[in-house]
Structure 1
Amino acid sequence: MAGRPREFDKQQALRKAMRLFWEHGYEGTSMSALVSTLGIASARIYAAFGSKQQLFEEAVALYESAEGGFADRALALPDIHQALALMLEAAISTYTRVDEPRGCLVVSAASGVAPDNLGVQQWLAGHRRQRTESIISRLREARDQGQLPAETQVEALGHFYATFLHGISVQARDGVPGEDLRGASRQALALLPNRQP
């Protein structure tokens, strides 16, 4: 009589899967790679997570609550200048770490996909749009509080900082050193209007 299958730690398995998706992308992470890295059979992966896409979505949620959650934490600061500075610095620190894959999981995991996986690509695009909206909303709040001039074009500025934030991911993935990204970040932050007198 066969013994019971070995129990596994679902959170530990999810963290391992997250790292694989972060490093190799959605399509680049095969089921065989997941089986090998997680140390459990594909049938148990499907039983625990439902499908590869559901596993990926849970992995993204884990990423956004941990390594990738820096933007929400930074934008919660009361001063908009400090908030954006911390957001960009945290992005550079996170995306250039030597002990983790470079770049952002949400930006790089499905930049190009086969037609069957367009849903994954669109789902991630929705996450990136949410980030843009959170930056715009934070800038609007700062303008309303008088931290920015009344004429500040918060929508355009928000799109700029979201584009820059996502660009840091691409540059980091390409191996651009953190020092160079910090220099670019200083230039980007110089575009933020000063407080009203």
Structure 2
Amino acid sequence: MGRPRGFDTDEALEHAMRVFWGQDYEGASLTDLTHAMGITRTSMYAAFGNKEDLSRKALERYTEGPASYGARALQEPTARQVAAAFLDGSVRATTRPGCPTGCLGVQGALATGDPGSDARDALSAWCNEHTSLLRDRFRQAVDEGDLPSDADPELLARYLMTVANGIAVQAAGGTARDDLQQVADMALRSWPPA
């Protein structure tokens, strides 16, 4: 049996998530990561694997933490409430005080080039998965009569994700939370009636 770890892996992963969130996959050097995590490269590799493995674990942590609004939104009783909770959550998550602005998944997918293609593909798959979950929830809403029978669940999900991704990009560019909330509110005005 090996020596017990001399650091808190949960805390180290939190710090790594923030580095990837603020600097994206390619911008986050191993030095940046290990310095923020307070560990050596050897300890990082032993606990988390390589940089790509660490980035996947950081994305999982982001999904369960700052981006958990997505899963909660899906539980709302109406499609409109799902959309409102999703957009409101996007505004709050991308403008959290004390955290990087924007979205780890969106910024990472946009800023990662060919050398980080595996990480970029994982981030794109993450975004697409959330679109699929929204689509399935809106299909349910059509089946239940909560959305009109001619509503297009795929298009509604893509619309919502596009607005949320735009909010993330604008947040990363410094747009204020109140201004982004106005965008979210405006997007909801075009939501189809039940």
User: Unaligned stretches of 5+ in structure 2?
Assistant: none
Shift of 1:98: 2.2
Alignment match, 2:94:
95
State the percentage of identical aligned residues. Answer: 34
Q: Output the CA distance in 1 between the equivalents of 2:132 and 2:109.
A: 21
Query: Radius of gyration: which is bigger?
Result: 1
- Distance, in Å, in 2 between the alignment partners of 1:80 and 1:5 is 48
Q: CA deviation at 1:158?
A: 1.5
CA–CA distance in 1 between the matches of 2:184 and 2:114?
36
5+ residue gaps, structure 1, are none
Is the CA contact (8 Å cut-off) linking 2:24 and 2:111 kept in structure 1? no
Summarize the alignment of residues 123-162 of structure 1 with structure 2, pairs less than 5 Å apart: 123-162=122-161
TM-score w.r.t. the length of structure 2 is 0.94
Q: CA deviation at 1:83?
A: 1.6
| 1:56 aligned partner | 55
SS at match of 1:109: helix
Mapping of residues 37-116 of structure 1, within 5 Å:
37-116=36-115
- How big is the shift at 1:96? 0.9
1:36 and 2:35 equivalent? yes
Structure 1 stretch displaced more, 113-122 or 22-31: 113-122
Contact 1:149–1:193 under 8 Å retained in 2: yes
CA separation of 1:122 and 1:96: change in aligned 2, threshold 3 A = same
Task: Say if 1:27 and 1:110, in contact at 8 Å, map to a contact too.
Answer: no
* Distance in 2 of aligned mates of 1:177 and 1:48: 37
Is residue 106–residue 127 contact of structure 1 (8 Å, CA) maintained in 2? yes
Q: Give the conservation status (yes or no) of the 8 Å contact 1:21–1:105.
A: yes
User: Is residue 21 of structure 1 aligned with residue 42 of structure 2?
Assistant: no
Structure 2 Cα separation of the partners of residues 87 and 157 of structure 1? 12
Q: Which amino acid aligns with 1:171?
A: Q
Amino acid at match of 1:119: D
Residues 1:173 and 2:172 aligned together: yes
1:112 CA displacement? 2.9
Residue 117 of structure 1: how far off its partner (Å): 1.1
Deviation at 1:154, TM superposition (A): 1.8
> Residue type of the partner of 1:152?
A
The alpha carbon displacement at 1:57 in A equals 0.5
Rounded to whole Å, the distance in 2 between the matches of 1:114 and 1:97 is 27
Question: Runs of at least 4 residues of structure 1 off by over 2 A?
Answer: 112-116
CA contact (8 A) 1:21 1:29 kept: yes
Distance 1:53 1:124 in 2: 11
With over 3 angstroms needed to count, the CA separation of the structure-2 counterparts of 1:149 and 1:111, relative to structure 1, is same
1:144-170 deviation digits (Å, cap 9, x = unpaired): 111111111222121111111111100
Is the deviation greater in 149-158 or in 161-170? 149-158
Compute the displacement of 1:110 (Å).
Answer: 3.6
RMSD of aligned alpha carbons: 1.4
Determine the C-alpha separation between the residues in 1 that align with 2:132 and 2:149.
19
